[in-house]
Structure 1
Amino acid sequence: MMKLLNSNSIAGFVVGSAVCLTACLSIGSSDSEKVKEQRPVVSSVTMSPDIPSSVSFCGKDIDLTRYNMHEGFDRELSSFTYFHSTTMLLIKRANRCFPIIEPILKANGIPDDFKYLAVIESHLDPRVSSPARAVGTWQLLEGTARQYGLTITPTVDERCDVTKATEAACRYLKAAYEKYGDWAMVASSYNAGMGRISGELVKQDADSSFDLWLVEETTRYVYRIMAIKQIFEAPYKYGFVLRAQDLYKPIACESVAVSTDIQDLSGFAKKNGITYADLKRFNPWLRDRKLLTAGKTYTIRIPKESDMYYKTPNTYVHNPAWVVK
């Protein structure tokens, strides 16, 4: 049997070589030079992603055929498509964060697409802080956070509590929608502020934030949300190949209600069977080595030991579209 296989392989090789030789001889020298000139000189090829004529945002079709709309969306989709490591990391994190964010948006009557606003604001990192001192998953400024019900003290910053910050963001988004009646303008106002968007609509005699001349960051803002949504809905289409085991698994936690001051959070962590580092990771709203409650009750999350290891691969997939089968 082995001899037969070897004979067939040799015969195939000889025939294939003859075909290739014939093809090579049939190409003239000028054609050969032309092929060399046109051949890429790099090991990979970068293709521009197709830009659709429209995309859906918050249940409304957004026309992208106008030059500025097409090019604005193209810029952001191309950026996320080829910013490989960051975009892939966002999908991995979403597997842990979206199960928290989505039910809160739904309960508050906010379109599900606004979870992508959190993605572009913070990369789903609850500890991130901007140069303008916006903090947390929803990148809230201190004044805005207080206005919409969050507590900020020397030892507490609820902007870093994903659940509470999402609820505060919902209150802002609802107020903005009452003002504009259009979710795209609501999203623009989240970046620029309602005062700025309202003022520019009047000054520029415009009806849509897409028609406004704004600073570059705000101009790009809604396009970025729509573009990352496009990739999240079909990662494989844009070259992202993920398996269930690649996604970050949700880690179950026990809740401990605390209404009295804790002077030593390291000791508190040890008493609850975790490290101080893990206490801070799972409760990023704790901003000091102690907790002063000022009469309030706070809920501290204690991760379950059994969930903190990847000894067994992650099997939870929040969105089946994220992974290959």
Structure 2
Amino acid sequence: MYTSKYIVLGVLSMGFLATGVAQEFDSIPSTKQGLNVLKTQEIPVDTTAMDMEGVEQMETMEAKDDIQDNPLFLVKGQKKYDLKDRPETAKFDSLWMKELYDSSSLFDSIYQDITTLEIDSVYHYNVDTDTLKARLEILNQKTPFNIVYNPSLENVIRYFLTRKRDMMSRMLTISQFYFPLFEQELDNQNVPLELKYLAIVESALNPRARSRVGATGLWQFMYGTGKMYDLDVSSYVDERSDPINSTKAASLYLKKLHDIFDDWDLALAAYNSGPGNVNKAIRRSGGYKNYWNIRRNLPRETAGYVPAFLATMYIFEYAEEHGFTRQVTDRPYFETDTIHVKSTITFNQISELVDVSEEELLFLNPAYKLKVIPYVKGKNYALRLPVDALGKFVANEKAIYAHVQNQLKSKEEPLPQIVQSKDQITYKVRSGDFLGKIAERYGVGVSQIKNWNGLRSNNLRIGQRLTIYPRKIPSSISSASTRKKSTNSVAAAGNKVHTVKSGDSLWTISKKYPGISIDNLRKWNGISGNDIKPGTKLKLCDCSS
């Protein structure tokens, strides 16, 4: 049996870090009761890492019949396996997870900063302008970005070094968990590795970050853009929050934008505001294509976006020169691995079985919105665990799934049914609306609406847009939808073929023909990716001509 591993390494230096600690043995109950649980060593491990092109390593692990070890047991009525970790590494993990949890609140702060940043304001910090110019010139030589000194960029750097110093210090720590993953995927797509700093500007490295307009995850994908790059969204799963899948999608999207503008600064601006706004800014500036020449014609949040990215890059590259202490250790201690689930399982069940807290499970598996990992035929949903816990899970897989099924059968309340992303609707809040009323209207729960939209309270504002996966459609909406679909079918009937023009994408084409989705275009025309060439004739129906 083969194993494919992808190890995410996080490192954190503690003053009391010790080396050469002997491994403790698990404490084992002496009496056999209830469910027999196998030991974890030397068992064929059927783990699967998220697909990463060009970096798979395969190795064979054989089970040995003569292994001697004390068996582990699940005692009847006992909620957790009696398994113990090494106390020193458990302490390190606890401190590391605390750092990760604490950083999750920084998204709101950086989102507010970027959208309201006054980059021409002067912030006082003891940095020599000539020294700054020399350092920026070195960065300019090392990267494909247009890093040239100007007073506005210096002001943003000073702002981050003063008012956002604590946040930058914490980003230097938490980035050690995510940056190895980012760099691998950016390298796979042959885009600049420095783009890893963009995730700090976008989300403060919070995989569950959600903006006021619905952009979600480390790379802040809107729903439509995420679908363009095959990020699955359902009532259970939002792959925009999955670190590996979303990083691959961000790499592909940024690469596409660079192909359009042939400039990484403009690609970044387009990533934030959309290619259309960048094109408008170029036109309004008289045809200039340098970011700093078109900046004043961009939306306000984008005017501060690229400077924030460049300032973040500068601070990370010259952290020690500005008094930041890098908390780094030579020994990695936080390792994780993944396995595809073979049955629907909840975080609560996993926590009880392998003794990993639900908070840690949520951090390691941020794509699962309802703390449930579904099993869907044709989908490969993976569970990520610390390697020690994963070994326990894999070695006892059959017993665990049998235990889970017995639990599900004994519960009166069924798990929520999966609603695929194609059933998503956007609801605009009207006067007199409240969450309970909207939830009843569409046959869903208030907690579900809050989860889908990242709401922390029950407060709504008129005009607010909510993402909903309805269990039922109100009759008035259903009849209106039927009339609209009929109209769309008639409108599309006369257009069976679309000739691709320069600037077209599957997304823009699908929007020109109501009732036709990106998946339709791919299926009808045998397209597997997103690339289409000008002059290509695309079928707009499931027809032979």
- SS of aligned partner of 2:250: helix
Give, as a single letter, the amino acid of the residue that structure 2 aligns with 1:299: A
Q: Any conservation in 2 of the 1:91–1:232 contact (CA below 8 Å)?
A: yes
Pick closer, same or farther for the CA change 1:214–1:61 going to 2, 3 Å: closer
The residue aligned with 2:151 is: 71
1:197-244 Cα offsets, whole Å, 9 max, x none, are 123212332222321122222111111111111111121111212342
The equivalences for 1:160-179 within 5 A come to 160-179=241-260
TM-score normalized by the length of structure 1 = 0.72
The residue aligned with 2:225 is: 144
The equivalences for 1:1-325 within 5 A come to 46-48=125-127, 50=129, 51-52=132-133, 54=137, 55-56=139-140, 58-64=143-149, 70-82=150-162, 83-205=164-286, 206-212=288-294, 213-244=297-328, 251-262=334-345, 264-295=346-377, 296-304=379-387
Shift of 1:48: 4.2
Give, as a single letter, the amino acid of the residue that structure 1 aligns with 2:153: F
Shift of 1:298: 1.0
Pick closer, same or farther for the CA change 1:242–1:48 going to 2, 3 Å: same
Q: Any conservation in 2 of the 1:282–1:302 contact (CA below 8 Å)?
A: yes
Q: Any conservation in 2 of the 1:255–1:299 contact (CA below 8 Å)?
A: yes
Shift of 1:46: 4.4
Pick closer, same or farther for the CA change 1:298–1:49 going to 2, 3 Å: farther
Q: Aligned residues: percent identity?
A: 24
1:18-54 Cα offsets, whole Å, 9 max, x none, are xxxxxxxxxxxxxxxxxxxxxxxxxxx9424534164
Give, as a single letter, the amino acid of the residue that structure 2 aligns with 1:123: A
Using the alignment, how far apart are the partners of 2:280 and 2:265 within structure 1? Answer: 16
Select between 123-132 and 175-184 the one with higher mean Cα deviation.
Answer: 123-132
Using the alignment, how far apart are the partners of 1:231 and 1:86 within structure 2? Answer: 12
Q: Any conservation in 2 of the 1:95–1:249 contact (CA below 8 Å)?
A: no
The residue aligned with 2:505 is: none
- SS of aligned partner of 2:201: helix
Q: Any conservation in 1 of the 2:172–2:326 contact (CA below 8 Å)?
A: no
Using the alignment, how far apart are the partners of 1:102 and 1:256 within structure 2? Answer: 23
Shift of 1:259: 4.5
Using the alignment, how far apart are the partners of 1:270 and 1:92 within structure 2? Answer: 30
Give, as a single letter, the amino acid of the residue that structure 2 aligns with 1:198: N
Using the alignment, how far apart are the partners of 2:386 and 2:320 within structure 1? Answer: 32
Pick closer, same or farther for the CA change 1:303–1:175 going to 2, 3 Å: same
Shift of 1:96: 1.2
Give, as a single letter, the amino acid of the residue that structure 1 aligns with 2:376: A
Using the alignment, how far apart are the partners of 2:299 and 2:314 within structure 1? Answer: 24
Using the alignment, how far apart are the partners of 1:133 and 1:186 within structure 2? Answer: 21
1:60-94 Cα offsets, whole Å, 9 max, x none, are 55332xxxxx1220121011111221010010011
Using the alignment, how far apart are the partners of 2:342 and 2:271 within structure 1? Answer: 33
Shift of 1:165: 0.5
- SS of aligned partner of 2:372: coil
Q: Any conservation in 2 of the 1:121–1:139 contact (CA below 8 Å)?
A: yes
- SS of aligned partner of 1:302: strand
Pick closer, same or farther for the CA change 1:97–1:289 going to 2, 3 Å: closer
The residue aligned with 1:8 is: none
How many correspondences in the alignment? 256
Give unpaired runs (5+ residues) of structure 1: 1-44, 65-69, 307-325
Q: Any conservation in 2 of the 1:258–1:298 contact (CA below 8 Å)?
A: yes
Q: Any conservation in 2 of the 1:161–1:285 contact (CA below 8 Å)?
A: yes
The residue aligned with 1:12 is: none
As a proportion of its length, which structure holds more helix?
1
Root-mean-square deviation (Å): 2.4
- SS of aligned partner of 2:304: helix
- SS of aligned partner of 2:133: coil
Q: Any conservation in 2 of the 1:283–1:301 contact (CA below 8 Å)?
A: yes
Shift of 1:123: 1.2
Q: Any conservation in 1 of the 2:146–2:265 contact (CA below 8 Å)?
A: no
Give, as a single letter, the amino acid of the residue that structure 2 aligns with 1:140: F
